[in-house]
Amino acid sequence: MAKNKRRKRTDEPFWVHVLRIFSDIISNLAERLGAPFAIFVVLIFGFYYFGTPEQKKEFFDMYFLGKHIENVYPHLFISLLFVIIILSQRSVYQKKIQQLESEKERLAQWKSKHQEDKIGKQLHHTRKSKNKGE
């Protein structure tokens, strides 16, 4: 079982401890899912816990059911939020793919060097093509 690296502080108030846990959760969300999605989750969390029932009903009616929409801004807001979340997810996955590609290349080079050391001569490598499948 992994030990918690952070020491517990007994002299800090309870609300500071709760705030510290909340900030850890948000930073993990931002790291894994992207900052826009983490902000979106925080806004939904805040709205859920601090919004009145009338505000929640009005929000649901307007943004999910489309009632009382005379302007175009609610549609633009939801569309923009969706696009930001999709782009942030794409950037997170592109970074992960890049890390995996570089790790794969590093391991391939290590394996080739290790094999060359064991057999005592240079291995024949195929030419890398720019297009996959060639």
Q: Grade residue 63 by pLDDT with cuts at 50, 70 and 90.
A: confident
**Radius of gyration of the chain measured on its C-alpha atoms:** 25
Burial of 34 (0-12, 13-18, 19+ CB in 10 A): buried
What's the pTM value of the predicted model, to 2 decimals? 0.47
pLDDT in tens, 15-32: 888 888 888 887 787 777
For the chain, which residues make up each domain, given as ranges? 14-119
Higher pLDDT, residue 70 or 14: 14
What does the DSSP 8-state code read for residue 116? H
pLDDT for the residue numbered 1? 44
What is the distance, to the nearest Å, from the Cα of residue 96 to the centroid of all Cα atoms in its chain? 10
- Does 99 have pLDDT greater than 80? yes
Q: Cα separation of 7 and 5, whole Å?
A: 6
